[in-house]
């Protein structure tokens, strides 16, 4: 890959690094690291290995590191090289053989911002049924390009324990969704989470894109789909969405739904009751699971318990979580 311009990837934060790549004659790699005295040689070796994989022979590379692991270094170098060369990099392909289990427990769907690698290594410790690596709402537009490489490498190189691994892509109607799939699908996530689903066609389009990318990459593992219903139209079309093969569950997204219908979000959620019930009915009519929205007030443990008890009463099988401290509480309610 030929470097044509300067490009950057990554952040100077704990567990991460910032990589700057620019045109050069031969390779010139400079490393600045908070742990350089102990791990400078390892960082250099990791960077060199990734440049070799990408066939980059002429480049100036600056690495400003704050404890990035090997797969993080590789992801940040790759993203910077792809941006600087304006070329596609080779696929990285999963070797996983385990088929998805449609009926497995999905009491907890723990969101992990995809641009924060410091959260990945220990995410499995909290025992969430599903770990959701997020490329959408938690990632600003300026970081979406580099984050998909980071999440892809995490899928391949991080031990997530017994948790089911899902990736929430950006909407296919956005400038980012298809590009997310191109990088993520060959790495073998168990679930692709589709935000803002509003029709069966949305899900079928996703299935076609997954099949196209798998054919190109030479992979054939089964990937389940979890659409999130976040609009009035999505609620109305929930039955046809649930009916699509490979959909394992429907999730409800209260924040965007409330905005869509022009209602004010209330603590007791009266404005969501019909929509939530409709999502449950649609899912259960087609033998699929239903997952409730996140509970965002981290200071209100009693509120989380009440909301989760109500979700269970309505027929939900689990809910979205934004903090590991919510996992045990939710599991007790859904026990």
Instruction: Give dist(CA 324, CA 78) in Å, integer.
Output: 30
- Provide the 10 A C-beta neighbour count for residue 91: 16
Instruction: Give dist(CA 68, CA 20) in Å, integer.
Output: 15
Query: Is 209 within 8 Å of 184 (Cβ atoms)?
Result: no
Instruction: Outline where the chain has alpha helix (H).
Output: 36-53, 70-85, 144-157, 177-184, 200-217, 232-236, 238-242, 254-261, 273-285, 301-314, 327-333
3-state secondary structure of 231: coil
Position 268 scores a pLDDT of 83
3-state secondary structure of 176: coil
Position 102 scores a pLDDT of 66
Position 203 scores a pLDDT of 98
Q: Measuring CA to CA, which residue among 193, 192, 209 is closest to residue 201?
A: 209
> Is this model's pTM higher than 0.85 or not?
yes
Task: Give the chain's residues under pLDDT 70.
Answer: 97-102
Which residues are 303's β-sheet partners? none
Position 265 scores a pLDDT of 87
Q: Measuring CA to CA, which residue among 93, 252, 79 is closest to residue 179?
A: 79
Position 103 scores a pLDDT of 74
CA–CA distance from 34 to each of 6, 17, 72 (Å)? 24, 10, 16
Query: Is 329 within 8 Å of 308 (Cβ atoms)?
Result: yes
Domains of the chain: 7-85 (3.30.230.10), 108-333 (3.20.20.60)
Position 37 scores a pLDDT of 80
Instruction: Give dist(CA 98, CA 325) in Å, integer.
Output: 29
User: What one-character-per-residue DSSP string does 76-105 give?
Assistant: HHHHHHHHHHT-PPPP------PPP-TTS-
Give the strands of the sheet with 17-22, arranged side by side. 7-10, 17-22, 59-65, 27-33
Query: Is 219 within 8 Å of 188 (Cβ atoms)?
Result: yes
Query: Is 291 within 8 Å of 253 (Cβ atoms)?
Result: no
Instruction: Give dist(CA 8, CA 229) in Å, integer.
Output: 35
Strand pairing report for 17-22 and 59-65: antiparallel
């Amino acid at each position: 890959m030929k470097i044509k311009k300067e490009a950057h990837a990554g952040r100077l934060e704990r567990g991460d690094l910032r990589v700057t790549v620019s045109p050069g004659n031969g390779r010139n790699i400079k490393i600045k690291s908070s742990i350089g005295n102990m791990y400078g040689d390892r960082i250099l070796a990791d960077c060199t290995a990734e440049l070799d994989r990408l066939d980059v022979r002429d480049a100036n590379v600056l690495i400003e590191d704050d404890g990035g692991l090997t797969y993080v270094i590789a992801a940040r170098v790759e993203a910077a090289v792809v941006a600087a060369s304006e070329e596609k990099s080779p696929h990285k392909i999963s070797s996983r053989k385990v088929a998805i289990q449609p009926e497995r427990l999905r009491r907890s769907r723990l969101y992990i911002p995809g641009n924060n690698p410091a959260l990945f290594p220990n995410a499995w410790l909290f025992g969430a049924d599903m770990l959701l690596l997020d490329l959408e709402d938690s990632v600003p537009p300026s970081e979406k390009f580099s984050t998909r490489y980071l999440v892809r490498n995490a899928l391949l190189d991080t031990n997530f324990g017994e948790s089911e691994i899902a990736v929430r892509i950006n909407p296919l109607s956005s400038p980012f969704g298809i590009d997310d799939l191109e990088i993520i699908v060959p790495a073998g996530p168990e679930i692709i989470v589709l935000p803002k689903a509003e029709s069966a066609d949305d899900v079928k389009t996703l299935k076609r894109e997954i099949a196209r990318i798998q054919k190109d990459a030479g992979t054939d593992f089964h990937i389940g789909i979890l659409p999130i219903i976040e609009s009035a139209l999505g609620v109305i079309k929930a039955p046809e969405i649930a009916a699509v093969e490979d959909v394992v569950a429907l999730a409800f997204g209260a924040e965007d739904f409330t905005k869509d219908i022009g209602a004010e979000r209330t603590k007791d959620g009266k404005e969501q009751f019909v929509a939530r019930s409709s999502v449950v009915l649609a899912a259960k009519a087609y033998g699929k699971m239903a997952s409730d929205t996140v509970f965002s007030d981290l200071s209100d443990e009693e509120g989380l318990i009440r909301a989760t008890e109500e979700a269970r009463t309505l027929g939900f099988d689990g809910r979205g979580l934004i903090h590991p401290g919510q996992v045990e509480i939710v599991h007790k309610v859904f026990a």
